[in-house]
Amino acid sequence: MTRVRTAPLAGAAALVGLAAVLVGHSLENGPARLGAAAPSGTGGGSGPGGSSPPAATTPPAASSKVSGSASGALEQYGYGELSVAVRAEGGKIVSVTVTKLLTADQYSQQIANEVIPMLRSEVLHAQSAQISAVSGATYTSEAYAASLQSALDKLHLK
Amino acid sequence: MGTVVSYRLEPGEIGDAAARAALGASIRELHRIDRLFSTFAPDSAMSRFRVGEAVDEVEHEEITSVLRLCGRAREITAGWFDPWAMPGGVDPTGLVKGWAVERAASILARAGVEAALVNGGGDIASVGPATRGQPWRIGIRHPWRQEALACVVELEGGGAVATSGTYERGAHLIDPFTRRRAGARHGALGSVARVVSATVVGPSLALADAMATALAVAGSAGVSVAASLVEAGYESYRISADGREEATSGFPFAAAAAPA
- Residue to test with chain B: of A99, A116, A132, A148, most B Cβ within 10 A: A132
Nearest in space to B232 (alpha carbons), one of B217, B211, B253: B211
Q: What angle do CA B76, B203, B169 make, to 5 degrees?
A: 75
pLDDT at B83: 94
Is residue A101 less than 8 Å (CB to CB) from chain B?
no
DSSP, res A57: S
d(CA A152, CA A124): 12
> Between these two residues, B37 and A23, which has the higher pLDDT value?
B37
Q: Which residue type occupies A27?
A: L
Average pLDDT, rounded, for chain B:
87
Contact B246 A1 (CB under 8 A): no
Q: How confident is the model at residue B182 (pLDDT cuts 50, 70, 90)?
A: confident
DSSP, res B89: S
SS3 A133: strand
d(CA A97, CA B234): 39
What element of type H or E holds B207? helix B205-218
CA distance A15 to chain B (A): 8
CA distance A51 to chain B (A): 7
Nearest in space to A23 (alpha carbons), one of B168, B147, B150: B147
Contact B145 A137 (CB under 8 A): no
pLDDT at A48: 35
Residue ranges of alpha helices (H) inside B77-204 are 93-110, 187-190
Answer yes or no: is pLDDT of B245 > 90. no
Question: Which of A107-121, B107-121, B197-211, B214-228 comes out lowest in average pLDDT?
Answer: A107-121
- Residue to test with chain A: of B1, B3, B7, B8, most A Cβ within 10 A: B8
d(CA B231, CA B78): 13
d(CA B148, CA B141): 6
pLDDT at A19: 22
Q: Which of A7, A130, A132 sits opposite B8 (nearest CB)?
A: A132
pLDDT in tens, B82-100: 999 988 889 998 899 999 9
Q: Which of B19, B245, B260 sits opposite A125 (nearest CB)?
A: B260
pLDDT at B229: 97
> Between these two residues, B256 and A37, which has the higher pLDDT value?
B256
pLDDT at B1: 54
Neighbours of A71 (CB within 10 A): 15
Answer yes or no: is pLDDT of A1 > 60. no
d(CA B224, CA B243): 20
pLDDT at A125: 57
pLDDT in tens, A38-95: 222 333 333 333 333 333 333 333 334 556 655 555 554 444 455 555 556 666 655 5
Q: What is the percent of chain B where pLDDT is above 70?
A: 90
pLDDT at A133: 86
Is residue A18 less than 8 Å (CB to CB) from chain B?
yes
pLDDT in tens, B2-35: 678 889 888 999 999 999 999 999 999 999 999 9
DSSP, res B164: E
Which residues in chain A are closer than 8 Å to B145, comparing Cβ atoms? Answer: 10, 20-21, 115, 119, 122
pLDDT in tens, B95-132: 999 999 999 999 999 999 999 999 998 899 999 988 77
Answer yes or no: is pLDDT of A116 > 90. no
* Whole-number CA gyration radius for chain B: 18
Q: Which of A21, A48, A144 sits opposite B115 (nearest CB)?
A: A48
Which residues in chain A are closer than 8 Å to B147, comparing Cβ atoms? Answer: 22-23, 84, 96, 119, 122-123, 126, 148, 151
Polymer length of chain A = 158
Contact A47 B131 (CB under 8 A): yes
3-state secondary structure A80-105: EEEEEEEEEECCEEEEEEEEEEEECC
Note the ipTM here. 0.87
pLDDT in tens, B55-90: 999 999 999 999 999 999 999 999 999 999 988 889
Q: Is the torsion defined by CA of B14, B18, B20, B24 positive or negative?
A: negative
Q: How confident is the model at residue B260 (pLDDT cuts 50, 70, 90)?
A: very low
Write down the pTM of the prediction.
Answer: 0.69
pLDDT at A150: 73
pLDDT at B143: 80
Q: Which of A50, A132, A151 sits opposite B137 (nearest CB)?
A: A132
pLDDT at B39: 87
Average pLDDT, integer, range B33-62 = 92
Is residue B208 less than 8 Å (CB to CB) from chain A?
no
> Between these two residues, B63 and B147, which has the higher pLDDT value?
B63
Is residue A135 less than 8 Å (CB to CB) from chain B?
yes
d(CA B59, CA A101): 48
Q: How confident is the model at residue B162 (pLDDT cuts 50, 70, 90)?
A: very high
* 8 Å CB contact between B140 and B154: no
pLDDT at B33: 95
